C-alpha cells in the first residue's frame, strides 16, 4: 500500500511539474476575456476576445464538431473617457443577438437608450453573450468580464440553456454534475496540460472526424427530458446557485446587477411529440389527428379532451388545445394551455416558469434589480401569449423583441443609485421602438436572411415536427421580402449567398448599390456596416469612406469631424499585420479627397497606385479619385495615362475608355 501511495504521489508530482513548466508557454494559456490589438499615442485598442468561449468547450460536444459557436469581438478604447459608464451584458445566444446581426441585439439597443438618458456621458454596453452558455458559463464570463472591463453595471439574461447548454444538467459533456463538480471540471479544463493533450488528440482524429454539425442538432442528441426527470431539478438548483454567485461577486465589488426573466415563444412553437400510450396507440393516433386536422375548434377540443384522458402529460396535446382555444377567442385559456405545453415539452429548450421564479426570487433575496422581460413581452402580445410577432424562433426574440428586452432593463433601474438613477422623465426621453431599429439599421436584406435561416431551421430535425406550417409561412414571407428588394439589393444578396464579395452582408449590398448609382440607399447600408464592424478595415474604414462619398454624390456636405475620427481609427488599425503601406496611402488619399485637400490627396493616391494589390482591389475608386485630382491639378495627360495603363492591366479596358471619355467631356476649354 505504501508503495502504491508513493507511486501515486510521484505520478501526481510529475504531472504538477509538467503543468508548472507548461505555464511558462504563453501560447498554452486559456483564452483571455479581452485582447489588446494596438497601441498609439497613449491610447490602446482592445476587443472582447471571441475565442474566450473556448474556455467552456473547444468546439465539440461528444465526438461531433460544432458549427455556430459565437461571441461578439466588441472593440473599445482604453483608457475610457472620463465619466464613461460601462455595462457588461452577459448570457447566451439571445444576448448574442441570434439570429440577427449583433448591432440589433438588446445590448446595442440598451446602449442607445442609455445614451438618450445620459447624452453627456459615454455609454459602452459590452455584449458578452456566448452561444449555448448555461448559467455556470455565464457566471464565469461575468467574473472575468467585470475584472477586464471595470464594468459599472452588470445585466444577466440566462436560463434557457440550463439543460442542453454547455455545463447544463443534460449536456453531452458535463451532464449529471453538481455545481462543485462543474467547478472542478472547469478548473481542470483550464490546465495547460489538459489543453495540450486536447490539441494533440484533436489533430490525430481530425482526418476521420465527421463534418461540423449545427449546434441545435448536436445538443438534441442528449435526448428527451421529461417533466419528472431529476435533471430538471438539478437545472433549477444550478441556476439558483450560479445567480447567487453572480450576485455575491457583484455585491463584493460594488457593481449593481440586473437579473432578467426569460421570454419564449409560447403560442407559436410546437413542443416535441411524446410516444403514444402503448395500450391505446391506435385510438391515441386517431384523437391526435382529429385535434390537428379538424378546422372546427369545438370538435377538435372534444377529441383532445379524450386524448388528455389517455395522456395528460403530453405537451403536444396541450399545444393543440391552445391553438383551438385561441381560434375561439379564449385568449387566457389558450395561454394557459400553451404554457402547460411549454412546461411539459420533452425537449426543454425554453426556460420554464420554475426557472423564471428562481430569477425573481434570487433578485429579491440578493438585492439585484429585476427586469421582468417575460412580463413585458406578454404585455405587448395578444392575450393568448407571446408568439411570432416578437420571436424569431422558439426562444430568440426578433428585433422588436430585442428592443423590448432592452427597455425592460432600463425600466429595472428605476430604484437604482447614482449614477444609474433614472431621470424623472426617463420614458419621454426614450425614442420609439421603430426609431431605435431605424437608428441601428434594421435592413430588409438582413430580415430576408433571418427568414431564410429560420425556414431552414424549422425544416430540419429536431425542429420540424409540428412546425410545418411555420416553414411555409417563413418561405412565403421570404419570397415577399425578396420581391420588395431593389435590383442592387438583390445583386448584393446573390453575391453574398455565393460567397463572393465582402463577408459582411450590408457591406456587400452597399457596394452593389454604389455600383448601380443608388447612392442614397448605399449610404444607409454603409452606415449599417460601420455599426456592425467598427475598427475594421472593411466595415469601418472602407465603409465610412464610401458612405461619405455617397453622401457627397447626393449633394450632402461631408462631415469633416467624421474624417478626423476616421484618421484616428486608421492610426490604430495601421498596426494590423495585414495593413500595408499602400492601403494606408489609399485610405489617406480618399479621406483627403473628401476633405478637399487636393495636393495631399494627389500625393497619397499617386503613392497608392504603385501598389499592385491596391490597383486590383480598389480599381474603380482609385482611378476615379486619382484622375479627378490630376485633372484638378491640370495634369490631363497623366490622368489619361494612369487610366489607360491600369485599366489595361486589370483587363477592364471598357471602364477605362468610359472614364477617359468622361474626363474629356468635362475638360474646360483653356
The string of pLDDT tens digits covering residues 466-524 is: 888 899 999 999 999 999 999 999 999 999 999 999 999 999 999 999 999 999 999 99
* Arithmetic mean of pLDDT, 180-209: 65
Q: What angle do CA 74, 548, 576 make, to 5 degrees?
A: 40
* Arithmetic mean of pLDDT, 634-647: 93
Q: Other CB atoms closer than 10 Å to residue 620's CB: what's the count?
A: 14
Provide the grid cell at 382: 395578444
Task: Dump pLDDT digits (tens) for 575-606.
Answer: 988 899 999 999 999 999 999 999 999 999 99
Q: Residue 461 pLDDT > 70, yes or no?
A: yes
Task: Dump pLDDT digits (tens) for 524-534.
Answer: 999 999 999 99
**Confidence at 69, pLDDT banded by 50, 70, 90:** low
* Arithmetic mean of pLDDT, 250-278: 92
* Arithmetic mean of pLDDT, 227-239: 94
More reliable by pLDDT, 65 or 113: 113
Radius of gyration of the chain (CA): 29
Q: Residue 217 pLDDT > 80, yes or no?
A: no
Provide the grid cell at 288: 391526435
- Tell me, what's the pLDDT at 165? 87
Provide the grid cell at 8: 501515486
Nearest to 169 by CA among 243, 235, 224: 235
- Tell me, what's the pLDDT at 174? 56
Cβ proximity of 595 and 627 under 8 Å: no
Nearest to 264 by CA among 318, 342, 319: 342
Q: Residue 337 pLDDT > 90, yes or no?
A: yes
Q: Is 120 helix (H, G, I), strand (E, B) or coil?
A: coil
**Confidence at 639, pLDDT banded by 50, 70, 90:** very high
Buried (b) or exposed (e) across 155-189, using 16+ Cβ within 10 A? Answer: bbbbbbbbbbbbbbbbbbbbeebebeebbeebeeb
SS3 content of the chain, % helix, strand, coil (to 5): 60, 10, 30
Q: Residue 171 pLDDT > 60, yes or no?
A: yes
- Tell me, what's the pLDDT at 207? 57
Q: Residue 5 pLDDT > 80, yes or no?
A: no
Q: Residue 347 pLDDT > 50, yes or no?
A: yes
- Tell me, what's the pLDDT at 144? 97
Provide the percentage of residues in the chain whose pLDDT is more than 70: 89
- Tell me, what's the pLDDT at 30? 86
631 half-sphere exposure, CB direction, 13 A CA radius = 20
Phi, psi for 603 (deg, rounded to 5): -60, -45
Measured CA to CA, the distance from residue 68 to residue 59 in angstroms comes to: 9
* Arithmetic mean of pLDDT, 449-471: 91
Nearest to 168 by CA among 197, 189, 141, 138: 138
Sequence-distant (6+) residues with CB within 8 A of 17 are: none
Cβ proximity of 637 and 664 under 8 Å: no
Region of 535 (left: φ > 0; alpha: ψ -120 to 50; beta: rest) is left
Quick one: CA dihedral 508, 514, 518, 521, positive or negative? positive
Give the best-scoring range by mean pLDDT among 26-40, 209-223, 358-372, 465-479: 358-372
Quick one: CA dihedral 55, 56, 61, 66, positive or negative? negative
Q: Residue 28 pLDDT > 80, yes or no?
A: no
DSSP letter assigned to residue 635: -
Q: What angle do CA 172, 176, 182 make, to 5 degrees?
A: 90
More reliable by pLDDT, 326 or 19: 326
Q: Residue 325 pLDDT > 90, yes or no?
A: yes
Quick one: CA dihedral 348, 351, 353, 359, positive or negative? positive
| Mean residue pLDDT across the chain | 90
* Arithmetic mean of pLDDT, 228-241: 94
More reliable by pLDDT, 111 or 41: 111
Sequence-distant (6+) residues with CB within 8 A of 259 are: 156, 243, 247, 359, 362, 363, 368, 369, 370, 371
Phi, psi for 75 (deg, rounded to 5): -85, 155
Measured CA to CA, the distance from residue 216 to residue 385 in angstroms comes to: 25
Cβ proximity of 630 and 623 under 8 Å: no
Q: Residue 62 pLDDT > 50, yes or no?
A: no
Q: In what order do the strands lie in the sheet with 34-40?
A: 34-40, 43-48, 75-78
- Tell me, what's the pLDDT at 14? 72
- SS3 for 28-70 is HCCCCCEEEEEEECCEEEEEECHHHHHHCCCCEECCEEEECCC
Kindly report which listed range (18-22, 135-139, 203-207, 564-568) carries the lowest average pLDDT score. 203-207
Q: Residue 538 pLDDT > 90, yes or no?
A: yes
Kindly report which listed range (369-373, 464-468, 568-572) carries the lowest average pLDDT score. 464-468
- Tell me, what's the pLDDT at 578? 86
Measured CA to CA, the distance from residue 413 to residue 417 in angstroms comes to: 8
585 vs 140, 548, 581, CA distance in Å?
44, 18, 6
Q: Other CB atoms closer than 10 Å to residue 64's CB: what's the count?
A: 18
* Arithmetic mean of pLDDT, 169-187: 67
- Tell me, what's the pLDDT at 63? 44
Provide the percentage of residues in the chain whose pLDDT is more than 90: 74
DSSP result, 121-164: S-EEEEEEE-TTB-HHHHHHHHHHHHHHHT-SEEEEE--TTTTT
**Confidence at 668, pLDDT banded by 50, 70, 90:** very low
Burial class (CB in 10 A: 0-12, 13-18, 19+), 223: exposed
Amino acid at each position: 500500500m505504501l508503495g502504491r501511495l508513493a507511486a501515486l504521489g510521484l505520478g501526481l508530482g510529475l504531472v504538477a511539474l509538467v503543468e508548472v513548466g507548461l505555464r511558462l508557454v504563453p501560447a498554452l494559456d486559456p483564452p483571455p476575456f479581452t485582447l489588446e490589438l494596438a497601441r498609439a499615442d497613449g491610447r490602446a485598442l482592445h476587443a472582447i476576445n471571441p475565442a474566450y468561449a473556448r474556455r467552456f468547450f473547444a468546439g465539440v460536444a461528444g465526438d461531433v464538431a460544432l458549427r455556430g459557436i459565437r461571441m461578439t469581438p466588441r472593440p473599445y478604447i482604453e483608457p475610457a473617457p472620463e465619466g464613461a459608464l460601462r455595462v457588461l451584458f452577459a448570457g447566451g445566444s439571445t444576448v448574442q443577438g441570434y439570429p440577427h446581426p449583433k448591432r440589433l441585439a438588446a445590448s446595442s439597443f440598451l446602449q442607445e437608450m442609455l445614451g438618450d438618458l445620459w447624452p453627456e456621458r459615454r455609454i459602452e454596453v459590452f455584449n458578452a453573450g456566448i452561444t449555448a452558455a448555461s448559467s455556470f458559463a455565464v457566471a464565469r464570463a461575468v467574473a472575468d468580464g467585470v475584472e477586464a472591463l471595470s464594468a459599472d453595471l452588470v445585466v444577466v439574461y440566462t436560463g434557457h440553456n440550463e439543460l442542453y447548454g454547455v455545463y447544463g444538467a443534460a449536456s453531452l459533456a458535463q451532464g449529471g454534475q453538481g455545481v462543485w463538480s462543474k467547478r472542478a471540471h472547469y478548473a481542470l479544463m483550464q490546465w495547460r496540460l489538459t489543453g495540450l493533450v486536447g490539441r494533440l488528440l484533436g489533430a490525430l482524429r481530425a482526418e476521420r472526424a465527421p463534418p461540423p454539425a449545427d449546434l441545435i442538432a448536436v445538443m438534441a442528441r442528449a435526448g428527451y427530458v421529461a417533466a419528472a426527470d431529476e435533471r430538471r431539478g438539478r437545472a433549477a438548483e444550478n441556476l439558483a446557485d450560479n445567480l447567487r454567485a453572480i450576485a455575491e461577486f457583484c455585491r463584493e465589488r460594488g457593481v449593481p446587477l440586473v437579473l432578467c426573466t426569460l421570454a419564449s415563444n409560447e403560442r407559436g412553437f410546437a413542443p416535441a411529440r411524446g410516444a403514444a400510450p402503448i395500450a391505446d396507440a391506435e385510438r391515441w393516433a386517431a384523437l391526435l389527428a382529429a385535434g390537428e386536422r379538424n378546422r372546427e375548434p369545438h370538435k377538435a377540443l372534444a377529441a383532445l379532451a379524450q386524448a388528455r384522458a389517455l395522456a395528460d402529460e403530453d405537451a403536444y396535446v396541450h399545444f393543440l388545445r391552445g391553438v383551438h382555444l385561441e381560434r375561439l377567442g379564449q385568449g387566457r385559456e389558450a395561454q394557459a394551455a400553451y404554457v402547460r405545453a411549454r412546461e411539459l415539452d420533452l425537449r426543454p429548450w425554453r426556460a420554464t416558469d420554475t426557472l423564471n421564479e428562481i430569477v425573481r426570487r434570487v433578485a429579491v433575496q440578493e438585492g439585484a434589480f429585476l427586469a421582468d422581460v417575460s412580463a413585458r413581452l406578454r404585455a405587448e402580445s395578444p392575450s393568448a401569449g407571446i408568439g411570432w410577432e416578437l420571436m424569431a424562433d422558439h426562444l430568440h426574440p426578433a428585433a422588436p423583441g430585442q428592443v423590448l428586452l432592452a427597455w425592460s432593463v432600463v425600466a429595472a433601474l428605476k430604484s437604482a443609485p447614482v449614477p444609474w438613477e433614472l431621470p424623472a422623465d426617463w420614458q419621454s426621453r426614450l425614442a420609439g421602438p421603430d426609431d431605435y431599429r431605424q437608428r441601428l439599421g434594421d435592413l430588409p436584406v438582413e430580415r430576408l436572411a433571418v427568414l431564410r435561416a429560420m425556414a431552414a431551421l424549422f425544416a430540419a430535425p429536431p425542429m420540424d415536427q409540428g412546425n410545418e406550417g411555420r416553414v411555409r409561412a417563413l418561405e412565403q414571407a421570404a419570397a415577399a421580402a425578396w420581391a420588395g428588394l431593389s435590383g442592387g439589393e438583390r445583386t448584393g444578396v446573390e453575391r453574398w449567398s455565393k460567397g463572393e464579395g465582402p463577408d459582411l452582408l450590408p457591406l456587400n449590398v452597399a457596394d452593389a448599390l454604389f455600383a448601380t448609382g443608388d447612392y442614397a440607399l448605399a449610404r444607409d447600408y454603409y452606415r449599417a456596416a460601420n455599426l456592425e464592424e467598427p475598427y475594421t478595415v472593411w466595415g469601418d474604414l472602407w465603409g465610412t469612406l464610401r458612405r461619405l462619398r455617397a453622401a457627397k454624390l447626393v449633394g450632402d456636405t461631408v462631415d469633416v469631424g467624421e474624417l478626423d475620427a476616421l484618421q484616428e481609427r486608421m492610426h490604430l488599425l495601421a498596426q494590423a499585420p495585414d495593413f500595408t503601406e499602400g492601403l494606408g496611402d489609399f485610405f489617406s488619399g480618399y479621406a483627403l479627397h473628401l476633405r478637399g485637400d487636393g495636393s495631399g490627396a494627389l500625393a497619397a493616391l499617386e503613392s497608392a497606385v504603385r501598389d499592385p494589390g491596391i490597383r486590383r482591389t480598389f480599381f474603380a475608386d482609385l482611378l476615379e479619385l486619382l484622375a479627378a485630382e490630376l485633372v484638378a491639378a491640370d495634369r490631363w495627360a497623366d490622368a489619361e495615362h494612369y487610366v489607360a495603363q491600369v485599366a489595361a492591366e486589370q483587363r477592364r479596358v471598357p471602364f477605362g475608355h468610359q472614364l477617359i471619355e468622361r474626363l474629356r467631356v468635362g475638360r474646360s476649354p483653356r
